[in-house]
Amino acid sequence: MQRLIDAFINSVRAFRKLAAHEKAFQQELLLLALALPAGWFISVSWRGYALLIGAVLLLIMVEVLNTGIEAACDAISREFHIEIQLAKDCGSLAVLISIVIAGGIWGIAVIERLTGAPI
């Protein structure tokens, strides 16, 4: 049980640090705050709502992992290394892919709501 408590405390510490200092994380938290009520009106089912919010949470999760990669790379060296650049670029690509996924899910949900027909 202590491991779970320690893990929770570590997670809260990371959340606070990211919320206070990372612009991308702050923007995605704002997006989540907007998505919670918007998804309620856009979705046509509970499953749809869960999918919409899950897509935003996936985006936030990938952003957290990307920030962790960047922090680890910066801790190793601030000098240019092709391998570190690749690691950071891959993290950035993962965020972009999650944005495309979330945007696609939300786009489909909007189209379904506007047309009244599932896609």
Backbone angles phi, psi at 92, to 5 degrees: -65, -40
In a domain, 57, yes or no: yes
Largest CA distance in the chain: 54
> Where does the pLDDT of residue 119 fall: very low under 50, low under 70, confident under 90, or very high at 90 and above?
low
Give the pTM. 0.91
Residue pLDDT, tens place only, 8-44: 999 999 999 999 999 999 999 999 999 999 999 999 8
Number of domains in the chain: 1
Distance CA 25, CA 49 (A): 22
Confirm whether residue 2 is marked as ligand binding: no
Instruction: Give CA–CA dist 81/77, Å, rounded.
Output: 8
18 within some domain: no
Domain assignment of residue 7, yes or no = no
Q: Residue 63: which of 95, 100, 104, 98 has the closest Cα?
A: 95
109 falls within a domain: yes
22 is in an annotated binding site: yes
**What does the pLDDT read at residue 116?**
87
Q: At what angle do helices 46-76 and 2-21 cross, to 10 degrees?
A: 80
Q: Percent of the chain at pLDDT above 70?
A: 99
In a domain, 14, yes or no: no
Q: Domain range spanning residue 46?
A: 23-115
Known catalytic residues are 63
Is 88 labeled as ligand-binding? yes
Range from 56-60, 80-84, 115-119 carrying the lowest mean pLDDT: 115-119
Report yes or no on 13 lying in a domain. Answer: no
84 is a domain residue: yes
Give the CATH number of the domain where residue 38 resides.
1.10.287.3610
pLDDT at 85 over 80: yes
